[in-house]
């Protein structure tokens, strides 16, 4: 039995929010980390750190972090906001059917993936490798795949109504 699209979309969007979207190495292997939508785990020679998105925003707002790193953090926040907007939109419009919400939902989801990728480019350069380190944005293709699924998904209710209509026409023809 296939999983209904109405149930699968929120699960895919939630997965896009919690999966590690970026694996990175700092400088010449001074440290490494995993970055998710709401936090990043970083292991360096100074120890292990769990840095939340609100902490990062506080560092940018107070001026502790500036330059390319600040732009990178702001783009990451934008990507998270777009994914949250996509999830909220899907929840609020869940009974409208996929055909009515397909385009805005796919654009919000793909926009989040692009913002994540631009965040990595802002920090590490266009080749995702430079003096700041190395970045492997593993979650970006997965989030783009979710956006692609949203664009190609069919509404679960459409096929059910067609079968009921055909069945009703057969009964009318027998009488």
At residue 130, the pLDDT reads: 86
Task: Tokens for 149, please give them.
Answer: 């699924």
At residue 152, the pLDDT reads: 85
At residue 162, the pLDDT reads: 45
At residue 85, the pLDDT reads: 93
At residue 90, the pLDDT reads: 84
**121 in Cβ contact with 4 (< 8 Å):** no
Tell me which residue of 171, 175, 160 sits closest to 5, measured CA to CA.
160
Low pLDDT (below 70) residues in the chain: 1-7, 97-98, 154-175
At residue 171, the pLDDT reads: 53
Q: Can you list the domains of the chain with their CATH numbers?
A: 5-169 (1.20.140)
pTM: 0.81
Using CA of residue 94, residue 97, residue 102, residue 104, what is the dihedral sign?
A: negative
Q: What is the DSSP string of the chain?
A: -PPPHHHHHHHHHHHHHHS--EEEEETTTTEEEEE-SSEEEEEETTEEEEEEHHHHHHHHHHTSS-HHHHHHHHHHHHHHHHHHHHHHHHHHTTTS-HHHHHHHHHHHHHHHHHHHHHHHHHHH-TTSEETTEEEE-THHHHHHHHHHHHHH---HHHHHHHHHHHHHHHHHHH-
């Amino acid at each position: 039995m296939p999983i209904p699209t109405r149930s699968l979309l929120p699960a895919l969007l939630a997965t896009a929010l919690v999966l590690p979207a970026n694996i990175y190495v700092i400088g010449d292997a001074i440290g490494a980390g995993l970055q998710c939508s709401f936090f990043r785990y970083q292991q360096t020679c100074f120890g292990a750190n769990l840095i939340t998105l609100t902490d990062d925003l506080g560092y940018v707002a107070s001026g502790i972090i500036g330059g390319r790193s600040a732009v990178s953090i702001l783009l990451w926040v934008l990507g998270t906001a777009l994914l949250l907007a996509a999830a909220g939109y899907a929840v609020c419009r869940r009974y409208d059917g996929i055909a009515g919400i397909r385009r805005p939902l796919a654009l919000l989801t793909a926009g989040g993936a692009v913002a994540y990728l631009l965040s990595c480019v802002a920090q590490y350069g266009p080749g995702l490798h430079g003096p700041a380190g190395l970045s492997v944005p593993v979650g970006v293709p997965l989030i783009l795949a979710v956006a692609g699924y949203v664009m190609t998904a069919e509404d679960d209710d459409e096929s059910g109504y067609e079968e009921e209509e055909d069945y009703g026409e057969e009964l009318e023809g027998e009488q």
